[in-house]
Amino acid sequence: MKPTLSLLVAGALATLASSAALATNGYFAHGYGVKAEGIVGIGIALPQDSLAAAANPAGVAWVGDRLDLGINVFTPERSSDIHGNGYGLNGHYDGNDTRQFYIPEFGYTRQLSPSLGFGLAVYGNGGMNTDYKRNPFAAIGAQGSAGVDLSQLFITPSLAWKVNDSNSIGIGINLAYQQFTAKGLQPFAQPGFSADPNAVTSNQHDSSTGAGVRLGWTGQITPDITLGATWSSRTRMGKFDKYKGLFADQGGFDIPENYGVGLTYKATPRLTLATEVQRILYSDVSAVGNPINGLLQGQALGSSGGPGFGWKDINVYRPGASYDLSDTLTLRGGYSHADQPVPSSQTLFNVLAPGVVQNHVSLGATGSRARAAS
């Protein structure tokens, strides 16, 4: 496919992907590309397709010339139970009034020379959505339904250089676009609770853009063992002006720094074992990491260093396996465990953003047609 057409396809998918991106490790996606998702998101030391740069740009050097298109159909279950609240908020709340989400992805790689590869990955980095028909805050004056919708899209052009036959290094530029809206939060849109009561709730979608960088390395240590490491800077985003009375630092909502290491072991010619560890620094972003307790101490929402959702930094652990059942059919599976980002002291405000899934099991398969020998 000609590069100009590839960019047009990427642009079309970018428009679609920005509509709703959901995730599961906090609000980060647990993997990028259908092959990585089949092995529970592993990709740091196991590049498999042209979405490799989303996990580690160094992998672009090893996947050849590829064009990959995909779409995830995501149907999450969101609900909250409130107990022991002294203001009448107790009860069970179903947050599934919006049920179905479609998350496209696009990848293109081309080997510019024997040692230099170019990649372009377009994917949903993360997000969250709740839609409560019965408002959890109705007892304290909230009106209508409640919920939030955050989606984050990354477009990552990258270059990877083969240092030698066993090692590669890569760099990717994370160009980010995000959207956010909130509704049903009238009790918090009051003088004293918010630095800007008109910019807390029900202001339709707002958007912001920003950029960061991702670096990576892969190295084949022995014929059977490959290691990888990657680091993504904090992505500095523009502010959500329509919600500068909700998010700390006048609407700031950067995308956190994250990094990880991975190992792949070729146990047999058909069986590949892989594992990786990722760390996500949620607490460095004020709107995400600052505790809500400051609100009860007179610190207004939206103020500099103001209250947030109180999320902690987390580690994500992923072991998985891939098995070539035949020359045309590969089976994949894995297990992922993430630390809990939401402390027990921060649960009430987090009914809006219940990113509390910690354990995932994935199974996947890919098939291809056998090529006739020439």
Q: Is the dihedral of CA 21, 23, 29, 30 positive or negative?
A: negative
- Please count the other Cβ atoms lying within 10 Å of the Cβ belonging to residue 343: 12
Mean pLDDT for 123-141 is: 90
Task: Tell me which residue has tokens 């523009």.
Answer: 238
Element (H, E) at 307: none
Burial grade of 88 (CB within 10 A; 0-12, 13-18, 19 or more): exposed
* Domain covering 3-367: architecture: Beta Barrel (2.40)
- Side chain identity at residue 193, one-letter code: F
pLDDT confidence band for 21 (50 / 70 / 90): very low
Pick the residue with more confidence: 234 or 373? 234
Q: Are strands 329-338 and 314-324 parallel, antiparallel or unpaired?
A: antiparallel
Residue-wise pLDDT tens digits, 211-233: 999 999 999 999 999 999 999 99
The pLDDT tens digits for 239-277 are: 999 999 999 999 999 999 999 999 999 999 999 999 999
Is residue 9 predicted with pLDDT exceeding 70?
no
The CA distance from 102 to 296, in Å, is 38
**pLDDT tens string 325-374:** 999 999 999 999 999 999 988 888 888 887 778 899 999 999 887 655 54
